[in-house]
Amino acid sequence: MAIRLGCIADDFTGATDLANNLVRAGMRVVQLIDVAPAGTAQPDDADAVVIALKSRTTPAADAVAASLRALEWLRSAGAEQIYFKYCSTFDSTRAGNIGPVTEALMDALGTDFTIATPAFPDNGRTVFKGHLFVGDVLLSESGMRHHPLTPMTDPDLVSVLGAQTARPVGLIDHTVVAAGARAIRERMAELRTQGVGAAIVDAVSNDDLVRLGAAVKELPLVTAGSGLAIGLPANWGFEPSPAAARLPPPGGHQAVVSGSVSTATNGQVQEFLRGGRPAFSVDPLRIAAGDDVAAAALAFAAGHLDHGPVLVYSTEAPDAVKDVQGRLGAAKAGELVERTLARVAQGLVERGVRQLVVAGGETSGAVVQALGLTGLRIGPQIDPGVPWCAAALPGGDPLHITLKSGNFGGPDFFTASFAHLGQASA
Ligand code: ADP
């Protein structure tokens, strides 16, 4: 069956966030890790496919090429509308990549008009008079102004996007959005006759996004953060339903692999240890000294897997991480830990783990790659923005996996997630 909505996301965790929103609005969603290799079967029973790229901060030409490859795949899968998804803080520079990718997709789709809105009110991202707010402050006053790769110093998205594209950029402001889908459509038609190629759209509430969703039904391309996803599925008659999030029943052993060093994850590790559960600490200095830490972690895990979840973690408080980074260099320390944890995840799966929690964005990328996963079916949400997923291992065996980036999840995430999976599939 052909898919309805085809999505191109410029990073991995953003892709999951979008997929999760679509599932909650009633679509069955598969997330592909980069473009599926030629010959990969199209997923059965998916209403939307989200292709996760790593194109946010690559050179613009590379981002364009990857996005066009993704577009081709989605069109061959039958996608009726394309959704280019970027960060809700509009992460980009004057060189792109939001503008160049948008233009390339417009050209390839033969369309002269699209919309752009990073608004995601549930996460505190709102757009008013074309200006992006993060919580209560303008984008340019938020932490994003110091971002190492994409410092955002201008909150006026009409000007930010305007600097990235040759097409004129316009604005659909809140008075129009509040007036409803028809008013938005009329304003889009007006901007189009003025030669505007892309319009920033104000949205300060989920109701705004729902009205906007209805208004953009006929556009071949929409560009947005993950917020707009709440307003699109209804265009094909989808309604929120637990059936959209149904996964095959879980089996096998349970394990957690954590390479995140964020505050929330530190709390989750502490909570797991307080519960007296089995946990193995991965020490980057031992890896650097040449010890086979992955083998030691797997030997430890093997003795405990029969009795419930086992945790393997490199998570440490900021001072300890800084100390290690000072001795090994931050990049080297990160790489050693990622490689070790990816081997641990592989070994755990070989030892029968079929329910795996991974903490850390970079760590998740390394684990997904090591396990050879190419696609994830998105299941029920455990905590805001973090769903369980089902994947097929290269041999075809099913694996339930959840990929939690840094600061997500409540304190008991490492145990509650397994209970949640059991309940959701009961
Ligand atoms: P988060 O989502 O919390 O940012 P990531 O996995 O994206 O987590 O990033 C954490 C980075 O820190 C990874 O590169 C990881 O390998 C590295 N790391 C993890 N534990 C340690 C440690 N104890 N010392 C130094 N670096 C570490």
| Crossing angle of the two packed helices 330-350 and 293-302, in degrees rounded to 10 | 40
Q: What is the mean pLDDT of the chain?
A: 94
Q: What confidence category does residue 412 fall into, taking pLDDT thresholds of 50, 70 and 90? A: very high
Tell me what the mean pLDDT of segment 220-242 comes to. 97
Nearest to 208 by CA among 99, 80, 138, 115: 115
pLDDT at 13: 85
* Ligand 1 center from residue 317 Cα (angstroms): 11
**More reliable by pLDDT, 143 or 297:** 297
Q: What confidence category does residue 15 fall into, taking pLDDT thresholds of 50, 70 and 90? A: very high
Q: What confidence category does residue 220 fall into, taking pLDDT thresholds of 50, 70 and 90? A: very high
Q: Is 409 in the pocket of ligand 1 (CB under 6 A)?
A: no
Q: How far is CA 135 from CA 132, 192, 212, 259, 349, in A?
A: 10, 32, 21, 28, 40
Specify the CATH superfamily of domain 246-424: Four-carbon acid sugar kinase, nucleotide binding domain (3.40.980.20)
Q: Is 284 in the pocket of ligand 1 (CB under 6 A)?
A: yes
Specify the CATH superfamily of domain 5-241: Putative sugar-binding, N-terminal domain (3.40.50.10840)
Q: What confidence category does residue 229 fall into, taking pLDDT thresholds of 50, 70 and 90? A: very high
Tell me what the mean pLDDT of segment 267-273 comes to. 98
Instruction: Give every CB contact of residue 287 below 8 A, 6+ residues apart in sequence.
Output: 293, 336, 337, 340
* Ligand 1 center from residue 294 Cα (angstroms): 16
346: enclosing H helix or E strand: helix 330-350
pLDDT at 37: 58
pLDDT at 414: 97
* Ligand 1 center from residue 299 Cα (angstroms): 23
* Ligand 1 center from residue 304 Cα (angstroms): 25
pLDDT at 38: 54
Q: Is 338 in the pocket of ligand 1 (CB under 6 A)?
A: yes
* Ligand 1 center from residue 314 Cα (angstroms): 8
State how far the Cα of 385 lies from the Cα of 20, in Å rounded to an integer.
7
State how far the Cα of 99 lies from the Cα of 80, in Å rounded to an integer.
22
Q: Is 324 in the pocket of ligand 1 (CB under 6 A)?
A: yes
* Ligand 1 center from residue 315 Cα (angstroms): 7
Q: Name the residue type at position 303.
A: G
* Ligand 1 center from residue 280 Cα (angstroms): 16
Residue with tokens 């805001």: 384
Q: Is 362 in the pocket of ligand 1 (CB under 6 A)?
A: yes
Q: Is 170 in the pocket of ligand 1 (CB under 6 A)?
A: no
384-393, pLDDT tens digit by residue? Answer: 889 999 999 9
Tell me what the mean pLDDT of segment 175-203 comes to. 98
State how far the Cα of 35 lies from the Cα of 50, in Å rounded to an integer.
10
Q: Is 333 in the pocket of ligand 1 (CB under 6 A)?
A: yes
Give yes or no for residue 161 having a pLDDT over 90: yes
* Ligand 1 center from residue 117 Cα (angstroms): 31
Nearest CA to ligand 1 atom 12: 334
The percent of residues above 90 in pLDDT, for the chain, comes to: 87
Question: What are the sequence ranges of the domains in the chain?
Answer: 5-241, 246-424
* Ligand 1 center from residue 232 Cα (angstroms): 35
Nearest CA to ligand 1 atom 22: 321
Q: Which atom of ligand 1 has the smallest separation from the CA of 361? A: 7
Q: Which atom of ligand 1 has the smallest separation from the CA of 314? A: 20
Q: Is 337 in the pocket of ligand 1 (CB under 6 A)?
A: yes
Tell me what the mean pLDDT of segment 342-361 comes to. 97
* Ligand 1 center from residue 91 Cα (angstroms): 21
Q: Is 99 in the pocket of ligand 1 (CB under 6 A)?
A: no
Tell me what the mean pLDDT of segment 375-401 comes to. 93
* Ligand 1 center from residue 79 Cα (angstroms): 37
Give yes or no for residue 39 having a pLDDT over 60: no
Q: Worst-scoring range by mean pLDDT, 80-94, 142-156, 269-283?
A: 142-156
State how far the Cα of 24 lies from the Cα of 232, in Å rounded to an integer.
12
Q: What confidence category does residue 405 fall into, taking pLDDT thresholds of 50, 70 and 90? A: confident
The residue to mutate among 261, 281, 358, 407, having the most atoms of ligand 1 within 8 angstroms of its beta carbon, is 261
Q: Is 325 in the pocket of ligand 1 (CB under 6 A)?
A: yes
Q: Is 262 in the pocket of ligand 1 (CB under 6 A)?
A: yes
